[in-house]
């Protein structure tokens, strides 16, 4: 039996590309991004994409593959995929949720602790070799007893909150409806949440609905003694308002794994001393990337085997 044909976008680690080639006949989407480099006859053969969500996957590409039935995304976020358009053409979309939840929540808590305790600067303080002559590192701030707000109590928000409970923090959260939680305080207004906490952690989904929901007003409501941590999508934050707040010390600090226009991020962020910057590595562990690749392939195999998709998003 011949292997089903799939089209891949971007590159994969060896531990993914080898099992992928064992299961499928793998074709590569042109690096140029120009689908016309693939001839019409070839494109008609393609029923499924193995997608990585770094580029825009909209109507133009979708229409280029008249027999496309599945877009299997590698990653939990699928905001670069036009899911509505895919749905309108009867094309299914899958993602890789759950397997990366722990890693994303771990990095969110790690970013918060590192920012609040000045861990990056403290490492440089020692490595300079001048600890003895420079004396004690400047005092930082405590986490205990602090009120932490989680914007979005989906899988990731809940995992972040669960971790932070152990740090003697008071958990507040924003979501459209109140959830079943162990005594966490619900807010149905994001500004109200921001006013009530010292630390705001963004854990909402990406996409047009949450674009710049961390607005100038929300940032001001966190306040000059507060911190903002983003483990969601760069698009959720009004970065212009954020940078202004950081430059004028209207916000104490900002830690983020995601940015507008990443990886080519706003250069003003690079020199601020009250920020912690991470290169979109929330799910970037060997263990989790292996699970993400496996889940992507399992969705593709389910599709070609006529079985129910494991983690559909539409």
What is the CB-side half-sphere exposure of residue 159 using CA atoms within 13 A? 19
| Binding of residue 144 to a second copy (CB under 8 A) | yes
Given the rule CB under 8 A, which of 43-51, 73-81, 118-126, 214-222 is the region that contacts a second copy?
A: 118-126
Phi and psi torsions of 194, nearest 5°: -60, -35
Distance CA(169)–CA(217), nearest Å, equals 24
Strand arrangement, sheet containing 70-74: 25-28, 5-8, 48-52, 70-74, 92-94
CB-based contact 291:99 (threshold 8 Å): yes
Given the rule CB under 8 A, which of 1-9, 90-98, 202-210, 273-281 is the region that contacts a second copy?
A: 273-281
| Binding of residue 270 to a second copy (CB under 8 A) | yes
125, 170, 250, 313: which one contacts a second copy (CB under 8 A)?
A: 125
Both tokens assigned to 176: 């459209």
CB-based contact 180:53 (threshold 8 Å): no
Residue 250 beta carbon to a second copy: minimum distance, rounded to whole angstroms: 20
Residue 247 beta carbon to a second copy: minimum distance, rounded to whole angstroms: 16
Residue 137 beta carbon to a second copy: minimum distance, rounded to whole angstroms: 4
Smallest Cα–Cα separation from 146: which of 70, 252, 294? Answer: 252
Residues with catalytic function: 233, 262, 280
Nearer to a second copy, 72 or 108 (CB): 108
CB-based contact 71:49 (threshold 8 Å): yes
| Binding of residue 164 to a second copy (CB under 8 A) | yes
Both tokens assigned to 160: 């972040």
5, 26, 55, 167: which one contacts a second copy (CB under 8 A)?
A: 167
| Binding of residue 273 to a second copy (CB under 8 A) | no
Task: Write out the residues near a second copy by the rule CB under 8 A.
Answer: 13, 102-103, 106-107, 109-111, 113-114, 117-120, 122-123, 125-127, 129, 131-132, 135-137, 139-144, 162-168, 262-265, 267, 270-271, 276-281, 284-289
């Amino acid at each position: 039996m011949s292997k089903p044909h799939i089209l891949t976008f971007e590159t994969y680690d060896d531990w993914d590309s080898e099992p992928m080639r064992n299961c499928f006949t793998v074709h590569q989407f042109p690096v140029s991004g120009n689908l016309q480099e693939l001839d019409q006859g070839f494109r008609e053969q393609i029923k499924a994409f193995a997608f990585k969500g770094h580029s825009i996957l909209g109507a133009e590409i979708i229409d280029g593959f008249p027999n496309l039935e599945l877009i299997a995304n590698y990653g939990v976020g699928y905001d670069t995929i036009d899911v509505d358009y895919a749905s309108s053409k009867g094309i299914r979309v899958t993602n890789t949720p759950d397997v990366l939840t722990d890693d994303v929540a771990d990095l969110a808590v790690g970013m918060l602790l590192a920012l609040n305790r000045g861990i990056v600067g403290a490492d440089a303080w020692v490595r300079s070799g001048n600890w003895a002559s420079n004396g004690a590192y400047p005092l930082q701030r405590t986490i205990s007893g602090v009120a932490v707000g989680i914007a979005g109590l989906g899988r990731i928000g809940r995992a972040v909150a669960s971790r932070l409970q152990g740090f003697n923090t008071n958990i507040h959260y924003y979501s459209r409806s109140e959830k079943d939680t162990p005594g966490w305080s619900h807010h149905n207004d994001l500004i109200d949440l921001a006013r009530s906490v010292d630390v705001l952690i963004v854990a909402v989904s990406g996409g047009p609905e949450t674009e710049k929901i961390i607005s100038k007003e929300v940032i001001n409501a966190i306040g000059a003694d507060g911190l903002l941590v983003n483990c969601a999508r760069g698009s959720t934050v009004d970065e212009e308002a954020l940078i202004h707040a950081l430059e004028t010390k209207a916000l104490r600090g900002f830690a983020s794994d995601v940015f507008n226009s990443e990886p080519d991020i706003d250069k003003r962020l690079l020199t601020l001393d009250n920020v912690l910057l991470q290169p979109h590595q929330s799910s970037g562990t060997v263990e989790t990337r292996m699970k993400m690749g496996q889940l992507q392939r399992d969705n593709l195999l389910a599709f070609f085997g006529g079985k129910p998709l494991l983690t559909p998003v539409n």
